[in-house]
Structure formats: structure tokens, C-alpha cells
Amino acid sequence: MEGIEEIFVDINCNGIQNEFQIEALHYLILYSDDIKESSLEKLMSFFLSNQNQSNKLFYEKYEEWGTKIIALIIRRFRSRIQPLQYLQFLPLVEQMYASLKEKEVSHSVLNYSKLYLSLALFYIECSNKEYVENAQICFSRYRDLSAGFTDINKNSNNI
């Protein structure tokens, strides 16, 4: 492999085969400053569309590191783009938000709470009333998970 972009292309083409690849991917995204936004978009799409891609041997690691990577990508979007460009990435964020509603989060509470906080911070920047409401819901879910409530559907109605 010649660079980070080639690694991302390989992952999109061949998937993730073990927990070491996904952990390495997380650290590449965390510490590399030269990743293109388009590559981050493709990676986020990969994780959203391949949530069941992992085999049962490393499902929990895939789930754990996958949520960390998605939260990291959302934070990268927030730090790199201007608020007017947020709407460009909104479809991916909306897809992530929708998929979280279907998840059982009790096994990885910390990672999901960070993901909800990242979503809340992204939504609050969009400045549309609907997105501000989504930010409130995501922050409420972050708060509930941080307090130890894993059944967020019952507890998050108290915004």
C-alpha cells in the first residue's frame, strides 16, 4: 500500500477481515491529517452499509471500533468543513441517526454515548429547527447512556 487513500480503497473493496484491521483503521483516521473528506464519506458509508459484514468471531470488536470510527469521522467533518457545507454530509449523518434507533446499545454504552454526543454537536451546527430538535434528542440519549440507562428509548423522552 502506498498511502492512506489506498488503504481506504482496499477496505471498501475487500471489507475488514479481523479486529486488527479495524483498530488500525481507527488510529489512521485519528492521527492522520491528510485524509480527504470524500474518503471519510466513503468510509462512513461503508460502515453504515456493512454493519453486518463482520463474522461472529470478532463481531463485538467490529461493533466497538466501528462506532468509534463513525464518531471520529463525524468529529472530523465538524472540524474541517464550514457550517454551510454541513448539509452536504447530512444524508450520512441522518443514515447514522436512523440506524442508531434500531441498535441494542447495552453492550457498548461508552462508544454509543460518544456517538450520540458527536451527532448532537453536528446537528446543532445545522441551525435548522428540525436538526436542533435532533441535537436535543441525541444529547438526551448521550446523557442517559452516560448515566447508565441503556434502554434509551424509554428514558430519552425527557429532553
The per-residue pLDDT for 139 is 93
The per-residue pLDDT for 29 is 87
Residue 158 lies in a domain: no
Q: What is the pLDDT of residues 76-108, one digit of tens each?
A: 887 777 766 777 777 888 887 777 777 666 667
Domain count, the chain: 1
Residue 15 lies in a domain: yes
The average pLDDT across 6-28 equals 82
Q: Is the pTM of this model over 0.75?
A: no
Residue 154 lies in a domain: no
Q: What is the DSSP string of 35-92?
A: --HHHHHHHHHHHHHTTT-S-GGGHHHHHHHHHHHHHHHHHHHHHHS-GGGHHHHHHH
Quickly state the pLDDT bin for 8 (edges 50, 70, 90). confident
Q: What is the pLDDT of residues 116-155, one digit of tens each?
A: 898 898 888 887 788 889 899 999 999 998 888 876 554 4
The per-residue pLDDT for 60 is 64
Judged against a pLDDT cut of 90, whether residue 157 lies above it is answered with: no
Domain that holds residue 56: 4-147
Residue 129 lies in a domain: yes
Residue 39 lies in a domain: yes
Q: What count of other Cβ atoms lies within 10 Å of the Cβ of residue 128? A: 12
Residue 124 lies in a domain: yes
The per-residue pLDDT for 25 is 86
Q: What is the DSSP string of 85-143?
A: GHHHHHHHHHHHHHHHTT---TTSHHHHHHHHHHHHHHHHHH--HHHHHHHHHHHHHHH
The per-residue pLDDT for 57 is 45
Average per-residue pLDDT in the chain? 77
Q: What is the pLDDT of residues 21-79, one digit of tens each?
A: 888 888 988 888 888 888 888 888 887 776 555 444 455 666 777 788 888 888 888 77
